Amino acid sequence: MAEKSSHRADLQANFGHVPVLRDRVTELLAPAVEEMGDQAVIIDGTLGAGGHSEFFLKSFPQAYVIGLDRDINALTAARERLAPFGDRFVGLHTRFDQFLPLMQEEAEKGNTACRIGIEVGITGALFDLGVSSMQLDQVDRGFAYRVDAPLDMRMNDTEGITAADILNTYSHGDIARILKTYGDERFAGKIASAIVREREKQPFSTSARLVELLYANIPAATRRTGGHPAKRTFQALRVEVNRELEAIENVIPLITDLLVPGGRAVFMSYQSLEDKIVKKFFTELTTSKTPAGLPMDLPEYAAKFELITRGAEKANEKEIEENPRSAPVRVRAIQAKKGAR
């Protein structure tokens, strides 16, 4: 009973959302953060409701946290929530691979967290990838396929193309490619043909019409066994709208370059495309480039990073029971080697 009460308290404290693998992520970052003391700066690259950031600020009372979010509504709410921590928290409105110029500007203005991050380096970083729980639960944003809503899907709803723009303007080939590549949709070509045919009658604007089209074009046998027929298409559109994979490819070399010796970066992926990118970059960063045939590693070619997770860690049964959104998560973490830079 006590565990259930604690879980309810967590839900209330986190605006209805328990941060995925909060304790494990904090444990992964702890050695570096504790060693740096009052010079520790943590980047929360996917701030959302601020649950992870709040736990970091409480767990590491000397550390600073810089939270990044492209969604101004989420950022505003998180800033309000984390205001009691004063200058130990700063929130920046940016896509997570574009934060460095903003951080430099804030450092020049005298912001302590950003100044330390620029002058000393980043101690720890978390990137909880994909769409946030807050956005999924805001039905008017168009991320959820179980309710009728405008086909928007932008994490930053002030700029860029919408999902409706893609459906109404992309060529048949581009729509099929997106559905196949980003959603692993078996019927991508058939669905793309139906979309092009239907948009000639009337442009797409809300999700219900798209879901109806998907039901009509995905065979009944697949619908019975493959989960909700709209899941893959909606994922693919969201990834394209927000250029999510591009952002991941950009941010890994950026954040690893900013880590202090011993600094750590944690990435949490929820679909295979994300995890494959993280795994590929981590493999490259932790592999020696010493030419084959030499008897020892040459210092200039030695790997400057090491893995601190064995493969991809997953949520355990207890975590999944308490927080079902953790079920697909894959966690990988990397550390900058001391004396290797």
Write out the binding residues for S-adenosyl-L-methionine: 50-52, 69, 96, 128, 135
Please say whether the beta carbons of 84 and 145 come within 8 A. no
- Could you give the CA distance from residue 34 to residue 123 in angstroms, rounded to a whole number? 10
**Sign of torsion, CA 201 159 178 320?**
negative
Distance (Å, rounded) from C-alpha 57 to C-alpha 311? 28
> Is the separation of the CB atoms in 198 and 204 below 8 Å?
yes
Residues whose CB falls within 8 Å of the CB of residue 107, separated by 6 or more in sequence, listed in order:
114, 115, 117, 118, 119
Q: Cα-flanking dihedrals φ and ψ of residue 209, to 5°?
A: -65, -40
Query: Residue ranges of the alpha helices (H) in the chain?
Result: 2-13, 22-36, 51-59, 72-82, 100-108, 112-119, 133-137, 163-169, 172-183, 188-201, 207-217, 220-225, 231-242, 244-258, 272-285, 317-322
User: In angstroms, rounded to a whole number, what is the distance separating the alpha carbons of residues 169 and 142?
Assistant: 18
Give the number of C-alpha atoms closer than 13 A to the C-alpha of residue 69, restricted to the C-beta side: 25
Hey, what are 318's tokens?
Answer: 């207890």
Residue 117: how many CA atoms within 13 Å on its side-chain side?
A: 32
- Look-up of token digits 């080939």: 173
Binding residues: 50-52, 69, 96, 128, 135
Q: Are 54 and 126 in contact (CB under 8 A)?
A: no
Residue owning tokens 């809300």: 206
